[in-house]
Structures are given as C-alpha cells and as structure tokens.
Amino acid sequence: MGSLYSHPAARNLYGIFNDSFPPILDGVTLAVQNYVYWLDQMGYTPCVVTPWNPEREDYPFSVLRYFSLPIRSRKPYRYGYPKLDPFIWRRLRDTDFRLLHSHCPFSSGRLAVYVKKHKNIPLVGTFHSKYRADLEHSFQYMPWCVPIIMKRILHFFNSCDEVWIPQAQVEETVREYGYKGKLTVVENGNDFASVVTGPLKDYKCDAKKRMGIDSNVLSLLFVGQHIWEKGIRTVLESVAMLKGKIEFHLHFIGTGYAVDGMRELIGRLGLEDNVTLHGVIKDRKTLSDYYAASDLFLFPSFYDNAPLVLREAAAMGTPSVLLDGSTASEVIRDGVNGFLVSPDSREFSKAVERIGKDRKMLMEVSVEARNTLVRSWEDVVGEVADRYEVILKNYRK
C-alpha cells in the first residue's frame, strides 16, 4: 500500500494533488484527506500526488510521492522537487487519470498542469491560502523571490479549467493576486459534524470532565499552525490582561516556527500557570474533546481565508472570537453564531472577559454556531463528485 503499484488495475483515477499529506497536518491537508476518503467511500478511485515524507503511512488508495526536502523555516513541511525525481514524470504519464484537482499551486500544482497538458484532461484548482504572506515569511531574506513565485502561482490558476474558493470573501484575495477568471464557491466540510450526541450543554460538561477541566474556569482554545501571522501575539497579550479579572486557562494545540518565541512571551507575561502548549494532537477523538471542553475559540487572524478550525470548534459547540473585517469572519454574525472584535489586544481582552462572564448568552451563541456553521465532509464531497461529472461532461464538448 501507499504507492501507485498497490492498485495496478486502477482506471479512471481522480488525481488529488497537494504539497502536504499526512503525517503533516493542517487545514488544507485535512481537506485533501477527507476528499480522498469520501471519494473512495463513494466508489470513485482517488490517487494522491504529494511530496515524499520519511514517515510512511498506508492507505487503501494510491499515493504517488516524489522527491522532497524539509523546509527549515516551516517545520514539519517539506518542499517537493519533481525535477530531481527521475521517476515521477513517467509514473504520471502511465497513470490513467480521468480528472485532476490540485489544492496547491506549488510543486504538486505544476505537476498537475503537466499531466493536464500531456493527457488533455480537466484540472480544478482550489485557492486555500494567502500564499503571499507565506512567501514573505519564507523569503524574508530574499524578498525579490516573492514576485517571481507569485507570477508562477497566477500561471497555475490560469491553467485550471475551474478555480474553487472555500467561501465568497476569498475572491477579494484571488483578485488581488491578479486572477481574472470565473470563481466557484465550494465550502469545506467538517468531520466532527456528527460527534455530539444528546443536549449540547450536557455533552460539553462531560467533555470538561473527561479532559480534567474545571467547569468554573473559562476554557480558551487555539488550534492551528503556531505562526505569528495567525495572531498568536494578540491571543497571549489579551489573556494576560484577564489575570485577576476572571479565572481562565488557555490551551494551544499545534506546532510551528513561533513555538520558542511563544514560550518566551508566556514567561515574560507571567502566564505559565494559565497557558498549556500541547503540541500536535493527531488523535481526532482527543482533539474533538478539547474543542468540546472549551468555552471560546480564539482566532484573531487576518492571515486565514476559510479556516477549518473555526467550523470544527463550532461543531463541538465552541464559538469563535474573530477579527472584524477578516476573511474568516464572513460567516460570523456578531453575538449570534460567534463574536467579532477589533485587532487591539486590549479590546480583544475586554470582549473575552465580557463573553466569559455571561454564560447564558455564551451557550445560546454556541448552539447557533453549531446550527449554522457545520456541514459534513460526506455531504460536501458528494457535491464535489457531482461537480466533477459536470466538468467532465462539459470538457468533452
């Protein structure tokens, strides 16, 4: 398992391309993982194309990996170098793809464009991230590289037959990058959609007991890459202002280049007893319990487009505190299914304190977040499969 040759008789494959795949975990990887899982469950035949990773996992579907090296500034990510892989090109040519869908414009996206041109089959591209911000961090000592790579990104999307975005407001970013073609909104799903059983309040109380979290303490949560672009400094500075005003504990789940700086800031702010860094939690049941045991999900990020973590939190009845005007805030109605705050740490802190002291209102917003922001991956990928068939039908014309 784990390579194309696990399924030598496979035909009419749906090629799913991305620059990361488990064991690397992030929102885009999770989306890709659910695409291939549900396509496979629905009787389609997915084939993942992704950079090689030394940690091997087996899958019931084909995975084609190509040469890669670690990205020092963005551990544990790896960058693929297909030009240094003498085998990947022939394997792609010999694979009977029916349709291609790339979730990344970088090395895997360029491979998808190669296959599209070689086989004359349709290519879908999904715009997931604010790539310029990533590049500006990765090439902070070589800023002249950024416009060159941005030009390649635009070339990738211009090579696609359809470009999908996870929510409507992402269009603003795509247009800023120079893409002028048609855009289609295809939402992300949620694999926690059916986890909660029984009354939400009771489930959350039980989750607090399972995780050893005092119900009298305001439980705060951040899940995602630990990078400064996601507003982590605002999170830490704002909760520091809560000391002496309300009992709280903040849980961070994930990893990233900012971890060491976070530890230093936690110490400087005197938050050692109020903040726990858990690292990456791969077990989805454990992660869902942390979501459910939390009262608020703190996510003051202008960086993210349509973060899956916001919907994961909502599925477990935990509303988010977001920045007013951020792309992620498009789906939030302030005080109804979440909370919108200015990026100022002091104002953010005041909002968290106010919300934390009104538990009745908080539960009402929790219920509405779950009612309005949660859609299963099974449902989403069912729609995706229908869209694939329409694309194929129109392409043959």
Containing domain of residue 236, as a range?
A: 200-373
Which helix (H) or strand (E) is 292 found in, with range?
A: helix 284-292
Number of domains in the chain: 2
Over the chain, what is the mean pLDDT? Answer: 93
| Separation in Å, CA 175 to CA 17, 181, 377 | 23, 9, 27
- Cα–Cα distance, 311 to 330 (Å, whole number): 13
Could you list the beta-strand ranges (E) of 139-277.
162-165, 183-185, 218-223, 248-253, 275-277
Looking at per-residue pLDDT, the higher value among 3 and 143 belongs to 143
Residues 305 and 253 in one domain: yes
Give pLDDT, residue 135. 85
| 169: in domain | yes
Question: pLDDT tier at 136 (50, 70, 90 boundaries)?
Answer: confident
Q: Which two tokens stand for residue 77?
A: 């990510």
83: number of Cβ within 10 Å: 12
Residues 173 and 61 in one domain: yes
| 195: in domain | no
Place of tokens 């994961």: 312
Give pLDDT, residue 71. 84
| 194: in domain | no
Give pLDDT, residue 397. 67
Instruction: Show contacts of 322-328: CB within 8 Å, 24+ apart.
Output: 323/231, 326/301, 326/302, 327/167, 327/169, 327/170, 327/172, 327/173, 327/302, 328/299, 328/301, 328/304
87: number of Cβ within 10 Å: 11
117: number of Cβ within 10 Å: 11
Question: pLDDT tier at 112 (50, 70, 90 boundaries)?
Answer: very high
Is the pLDDT at 277 greater than 70? The verdict is yes
| 141: in domain | yes
- The region of weakest confidence among 143-147, 218-222, 233-237, 274-278 is 143-147
Give pLDDT, residue 4. 38
Residues 159 and 227 in one domain: no
Looking at per-residue pLDDT, the higher value among 312 and 137 belongs to 312
Residues 137 and 239 in one domain: no
- Cα–Cα distance, 328 to 299 (Å, whole number): 9
Phi then psi for residue 176, to 5 deg, are -60, -35
Give the CATH number, domain containing residue 142.
3.40.50.2000
Give pLDDT, residue 3. 40
| 131: in domain | yes
Residue among 304, 182, 178 at smallest CA distance from 231: 304
| 362: in domain | yes
| 295: in domain | yes
Give pLDDT, residue 1. 36
Residues 146 and 282 in one domain: no
- Cα–Cα distance, 334 to 321 (Å, whole number): 9
- Cα–Cα distance, 120 to 316 (Å, whole number): 43
Model confidence pLDDT, tens digit, residues 196-251: 999 999 999 999 999 999 999 999 999 999 999 999 999 999 999 999 999 999 99
Tell me the whole-structure pTM to 2 decimals.
0.88
Residues 321 and 368 in one domain: yes
Residues 205 and 57 in one domain: no
Residues 65 and 140 in one domain: yes
Residues 331 and 367 in one domain: yes
Phi then psi for residue 354, to 5 deg, are -60, -45
Residues 20 and 167 in one domain: yes
- Cα–Cα distance, 300 to 254 (Å, whole number): 16
Residues 273 and 155 in one domain: no
Q: Which two tokens stand for residue 73?
A: 């500034």
Give pLDDT, residue 9. 43
| 256: in domain | yes
145: number of Cβ within 10 Å: 13
Is the pLDDT at 134 greater than 60? The verdict is yes
| Separation in Å, CA 105 to CA 123, 186, 232, 376, 387 | 12, 17, 27, 26, 21
Buried b (16+ CB within 10 A) or exposed e, 313-325: bbbbbbbbbbbee
Residues 263 and 290 in one domain: yes
For the chain, the maximum distance between any two Cα atoms, rounded to a whole number of angstroms, is 68
